[in-house]
Chains A and B, each alone.
Chain A
């Protein structure tokens, strides 16, 4: 065994002082002061041409300290480069170390290092060669690879294992600089070198090669499958203790090498039955011995790796059974680390062979209750893989509980992940639509800020397609949310409780939950649309949810007002109020004693009518115009539950071209009105102008802008049929267009031409801007 030789340390007084000062300082500011002073000293010394090279090592170590404690050390690049060619071994190594800490392979100064490296790679002193190889693995980039490649390959046959294994790693690094061999390594074949070093008599060199093979096989395993016999033979020898004792670790034979081999075999056996068969015996033996080797963590590590291998290669029942048994041991252990790995392994087994999960249900549920959040999360992930139709409600409940908990609080990636899991599970396994709607509302509430807005549209479409029973359920649910501020039944209590714990409330607020009264946008949009469309059903609900249309509108206004909504949400709200008011008008046969709109709603509409945002203004004015229409027209313009109306192709064409308005337009033109002059962009779309004309006008064709603008698409589409994302199906879009034309014309008529019709529809719909108007609809509407 090695002697503990401790050579007397050279007196590096200034370094000692520095270390002492850093060790004793009590605050970051103090440390910064010390290091700043150190940086100044070093700058002076290192730029001095009479630099004492015998102190090279000391200076380099001090430079490393400065960088390690957060200070820029670029002043040291050139001095380090110079010291790297120093004949003193310690100085050279220290300089190399500083360079690898400060630079990376993209840095242009590395070029100046190449000659030193080349000369060191040829050195007689193996320590020098080894050091040069370490630097090569870090600092040589694609541009410089070819300068050093030949020498590195030569070093593969150096007498010292310390050199050979590093040469292998340097080659691996080169491969990673150019994995497809399309750059500097074009035509270079490194694989055959690795095949040679795999058979090196020194296990350490063989082990280094395993790293390289794993990297190569990860992209393309096929050519390496022929190595499986060699690899299984090596693994067999390792587990049978045939390597030198020095490779033992806590009585396990070369455990890290075993793990590497298992990983590599996993890559090669995946999806290939023949390959997997060739390795099953050895993998089984490895698993067995590791499990029997006593209770050290490293033994468990081998077991864990073996189980992962078993689950990833072609399924083999005996192996899977053995793996499941091993995993049982891990999960039932009292160590959290082992439980964690056991859960991961169980998830992997379950994907291949679901029956094993059942046996361990109790142990798994226990883990769910564990106070360790990391473990809880792992268990949830496992549950997700185990989810089927018969347990989806339970699993989703657990996931939602986790999502609501403060553990999830600030970690946005985690919340997005969990919320996404809930959504996908709900979509795949929902037992019925009502449950689905409730869950989606819940996940919008708790995780709304990390979900895609598209999901709101999907949910609304789904609701629209259902029957009136579901509509009523949805209305009830959303009314409840508005009342309580949350979807959970203990809503009010939860909000109060959260308010007490400052941290919890902050976390909850940050998570966008409603316990602070703010509903996420995505949820508000849904609520607005559903209540706008079906809010009249609230009158038929049993108490306490029973509400008149006016009350529904009130609730909506209040909720939106308190949530500081974006313009999009406010636009949805305007539409919803309009629809509700229209419905009321239609059912009452005219304005009731309380007027058309409730005060808050009226207020909102007037404010929006003078808003600087065009979308809001447009909707408000259209609303005002629409609500003046008699109920019969109104019920045609805004049909109840009409969002899923299917249209015939002929109707679609009529909607697109507005041909039903032709006679009126012609009448008007005959009476002297000017035809509408569409804006240039529209002319291009209709083929009247071509692209060059547009360019010369400095305009773009709107036809290419297929994406619906953020505020819900062509102005006023919202009025007819609710949310209309770009992905909406043809019937809905066409119906929207139809509804829009109706209301565009109606609006134009009613407002006496004051409203300028939106681009894209107005070709026939209305009179020219600002010219004297003949009202073509005067007779129709009386």
Chain B
């Protein structure tokens, strides 16, 4: 119940995907928050932890090529587990899109959301089994509307 949001923002600060759980923020507030957080991530070096605090959240982030995956949690969350959750998510995306890249995410943002919905609901981890996650999503792919 403690993951508050999951963001994909690129190095230029452009939001590629934003999912907010249980946090009721306005559009302006969300975008401001995303900007602040990505700036902090950009300022950090490799020698530093992948976690830092921002306002009332703890941010755990991982960089994959040009994209930052940033998760905001409550205070008492297991940071290492969240780090691995991010990686698991990327592995799932990779499996679905094949060598996933930023452009894949930009072209099919709804599919990325559906994948996330299989893994996370209301800020809790629901499933990390790749077969379970991708089966419904694959079915969608096969449906021509």
Contacts and interface: CB of A to CB of B under 8 A. Distances in A.
Interface of A: 1-2, 4-7, 9-10, 16, 19, 22-23, 31, 54, 56-57, 60-61, 64-65, 67-73, 88-91, 93-94, 97, 104, 106, 126-127, 130, 134, 137-138, 161-162, 165-166, 169, 172-173, 176, 203-204, 207-208, 211, 214-215, 244, 246-247, 249, 254-256, 259-260, 263, 297-298, 300-301, 304-305, 308, 336-341, 371-375, 413-414
A372 B81 CA distance: 21
A93 B114 contact: yes
Contacts of B113: 97
10 closest cross-chain pairs (CB), A and B: A301-B80, A211-B124, A90-B145, A372-B48, A169-B121, A301-B81, A88-B145, A70-B31, A336-B49, A204-B127
Contacts of A165: 126-127
A5 B142 contact: yes
B27 A72 contact: yes
A372 B122 contact: no
A5 B139 CA distance: 10
A304 B140 contact: no
Given A61-B110, A256-B85, A173 B122 contact: yes
Contacts of B110: 57, 60-61, 64, 93-94, 97
Given A70-B28, A93-B110, A169-B126, A304 B145 contact: no
A68 B18 CA distance: 7
A10 to B, nearest CB: 7
Interface string B65-105: 00000000000001111011101100000010010000100
Contacts of B138: 2, 5
B84 A7 contact: no
26 contacts: A2-B131, A2-B134, A2-B138, A6-B98, A16-B107, A19-B107, A68-B109, A90-B140, A106-B24, A134-B121, A162-B135, A165-B126, A165-B127, A169-B121, A207-B127, A249-B88, A256-B81, A298-B80, A300-B80, A301-B78, A336-B50, A371-B48, A372-B47, A374-B48, A374-B52, A374-B53
Contacts of B143: 89-90
Nearest to B84: A298
A337 B18 contact: no
A162 B136 contact: yes
B51 A127 contact: no
A137 B121 contact: yes
A10 B121 contact: no
A374 B126 contact: no
B129 A372 contact: no
Chain A interface, DSSP helix/strand/loop, else mixed: helix
A61 B145 CA distance: 15
A215 B121 CA distance: 14
B143 to A, nearest CB: 5
A99 B141 CA distance: 21
B140 A10 contact: no
A304 B15 CA distance: 32
A336 B47 contact: yes
B142 to A, nearest CB: 6
Given A106-B24, A127-B136, A301-B84, A211 B126 contact: yes
Contacts of B80: 297-298, 300-301, 304, 337-338, 341
Contacts of A297: 80, 83-84, 87
Interface of B: 1, 14-15, 17-18, 24, 27-28, 31, 47-53, 55, 78-81, 83-85, 87-88, 95, 98, 103, 106-107, 109-110, 113-114, 117-118, 121-122, 124-132, 134-136, 138-145
A204 B129 contact: yes
A57 B145 contact: yes
B132 A204 contact: yes
A355 to B, nearest CB: 25
Given A204-B132, A259-B81, A375 B49 contact: yes
Contacts of A373: 48
B121 A166 contact: yes
B98 A130 contact: no
B48 to A, nearest CB: 4
Nearest to A162: B136
Given A166-B126, A176-B1, A308-B78, 13 more contacts: A2-B135, A61-B110, A70-B31, A88-B145, A89-B143, A165-B127, A246-B131, A247-B128, A263-B78, A298-B81, A336-B47, A371-B47, A372-B47
A312 B28 CA distance: 40
A341 B1 contact: no
A31 B14 CA distance: 9
B47 A260 contact: no
Contacts of B31: 69-70
B57 to A, nearest CB: 12
Contacts of B47: 336, 371-372
A214 B2 CA distance: 11
Given A31-B14, A256-B81, A259-B78, A23 B103 contact: yes
Given A70-B31, A97-B113, A7 B83 contact: no
Contacts of B50: 336-337
A255 B60 CA distance: 19
Contacts of B17: 68
Contacts of B126: 165-166, 169, 204, 207-208, 211
A405 to B, nearest CB: 16
Name which of B85, B110, B142 has the most chain A CB atoms within 10 A of its CB.
B110
A106 B125 CA distance: 24
Nearest to A375: B49
Contacts of A71: 27
Nearest to B25: A104
B88 A214 contact: no
Nearest to B10: A23
A240 B128 CA distance: 18
B145 to A, nearest CB: 4
A5 B83 CA distance: 29
A337 B49 contact: yes
Contacts of A215: 1
Nearest to A208: B126
Contact of B24 (A61, A104, A130): A104
